[in-house]
Amino acid sequence: MGAGLNIAIVGAGWAGLAAAVTAIQNGHTATVFEATDALGGRARALKGTLPDGTAVTLDNGQHILIGAYSDTLRLMRTVGVAPEQALLDLPMTLQFPDGRGIRFPDWPTPLDALGGILSARGWTLADKVSVLKAALRWRWQGFECAATQSVADLCHGLTPRITTELIEPLCVSALNTPAAQASAAVFLRVLRDALFGASGGSHLLLPKTDLGALFPQAAASWMAQHGGQVVAKARVEKLAQDAPPGNATGHPVWRLNGPGLEAAAATHFDAVLWATSASNTAQALIQYGLVAPENISKPVAAWCQTAQALQFEAITTVYAWSASARLTLPMLALRNTAAHPAQFVFDRGALGGPAGLLAFVVSASTGDRATVQAQVLAQAQAQLGLTLQPVQTVVEKRATFACTPGLQRPAQHIVPGLLACGDYVAGPYPATLEGAIRSGINAARCIVNDGTLTRG
């Protein structure tokens, strides 16, 4: 492989920026093109206003990290963000407002899980025995199961309380897919890494700053200091391949066109990494495939077909406020029903935000914005005893792919010199920040290790 490849990355979400940082670390030049003026993709900062007129920075969705997100934490440190300062580190907790549920002690893994199960409030001996037996069985089986198995199938035989107070909240928070439709294989991978992996892997890491400051903005600054470039308001509309320029020998170069790209130092690249959503990537590549040679158009069309077959789940985040609103913990689980759809609530005041601001998360959300908001405000009154005013309700209609059993996800590699990254591409993790980061890192490594990319 020749050194000094010039790599274009389309999309300044967490995956695209992770790819850019990794490429630069490997001695290459990276240019990131972002169609908007905001960094972070589906995990970015938003501006809002409290009912009393106070300006506040929100997020387009309430995200959390866990201690097992090793690549995310490492890359944060690389770009100058100290996780110890930016994240509130708490032992794994799934407690409800009435105090029932599980809370791990701060012990080494996996003793923390054992201690949490044995001390869980409101669980009977039968509840605890059922989950301990299941955990031992999963560990004995290497946290593997048939690809076609659902989480509900995997957990058949657990007591109803364990299902509703542990399995369902864990599943919907990790996979954003209801247990009856969620992939057991992916669920087990998350459990393995979080509960039985490295020490501290199960810890909840709650952002104490907005998502833009947590990684994307720092990554862009790091890139600028290391010879990279992020070009905002640059929409890539056309992709093509040209013969090698001048008298050079070797591989063809990629040409990008679209409004705003003139701000970039170059529009011809050795490789292109598409880091937008599955649907946006497929839409762009379909147009390229129509005019590409047959040996390229066929794999591009096959990749697009797989990407377009993905189904998606929505996440709704309802921000609400009352000057006196406080939670007993920075994050609480909620008992969700059709009428009370939120599964979790976060005290943003305890996480560095303004006092009284709460964020309610509705994973696998259905219904329109106004209806869900009204339901969540009623849920806050019923389960927390709080009368809240709405601040802003954010609906990400295609927040994550539906992580179903046997799902075929698009490959990282499309054709030589053209790859995709994002939390939806093939990999062991569901649609999480860690999944996006790992995808970006792997894509950059695949590009720079691609034997077809050599200079003459």
| Residues 287-339: tens digit of each pLDDT | 898 888 888 899 999 999 999 999 999 999 999 999 999 999 999 999 999 99
Residue 3 pLDDT more than 80? no
Same domain, 431 and 354: no
Residue 454 pLDDT more than 70? no
Same domain, 288 and 242: yes
Which position has the higher pLDDT, 196 or 159?
A: 159
Same domain, 343 and 389: yes
Question: What's the mean pLDDT in 387-405?
Answer: 95
Containing domain of residue 252, as a range?
6-40+215-309+407-448
Residue 395 sits in a domain whose CATH number is 3.90.660.10
pLDDT digits (tens, 9 = 90+) for 8-57: 999 999 999 999 999 999 999 999 999 999 999 999 999 999 999 999 99
Same domain, 100 and 198: yes
Task: Assess if residue 455 is contained within a domain.
Answer: no
Same domain, 104 and 188: yes
Same domain, 140 and 55: no
Same domain, 434 and 285: yes
Asked, as a colleague might, if the bond just before 110 is cis with ω within 30 of 0, I would say yes
Give the per-residue pLDDT at 291.
87
Task: Assess if residue 340 is contained within a domain.
Answer: yes
Q: What is the mean pLDDT of the chain?
A: 92
Give the per-residue pLDDT at 2.
47
Same domain, 185 and 127: yes
Among 148, 170, 202, identify where a domain stops: 202
Residue 4 CB neighbour total at 10 angstroms: 9
Among 202, 233, 250, identify where a domain stops: 202
Task: Assess if residue 58 is contained within a domain.
Answer: yes
Going by pLDDT thresholds of 50, 70 and 90, the confidence category of residue 198 is confident
Task: Assess if residue 390 is contained within a domain.
Answer: yes
pLDDT digits (tens, 9 = 90+) for 140-194: 999 999 999 999 999 999 999 999 999 999 999 999 999 999 999 999 999 999 8
Same domain, 184 and 303: no
Same domain, 420 and 297: yes
Same domain, 52 and 84: yes
Task: Assess if residue 225 is contained within a domain.
Answer: yes
Which position has the higher pLDDT, 250 or 367?
A: 367
Task: Assess if residue 356 is contained within a domain.
Answer: yes
Task: Assess if residue 456 is contained within a domain.
Answer: no
The number of distinct structural domains making up the chain is 3
Residue 232 sits in a domain whose CATH number is 3.50.50.60
Same domain, 194 and 112: yes
Among 202, 234, 254, identify where a domain stops: 202
Task: Assess if residue 454 is contained within a domain.
Answer: no
Going by pLDDT thresholds of 50, 70 and 90, the confidence category of residue 249 is very low
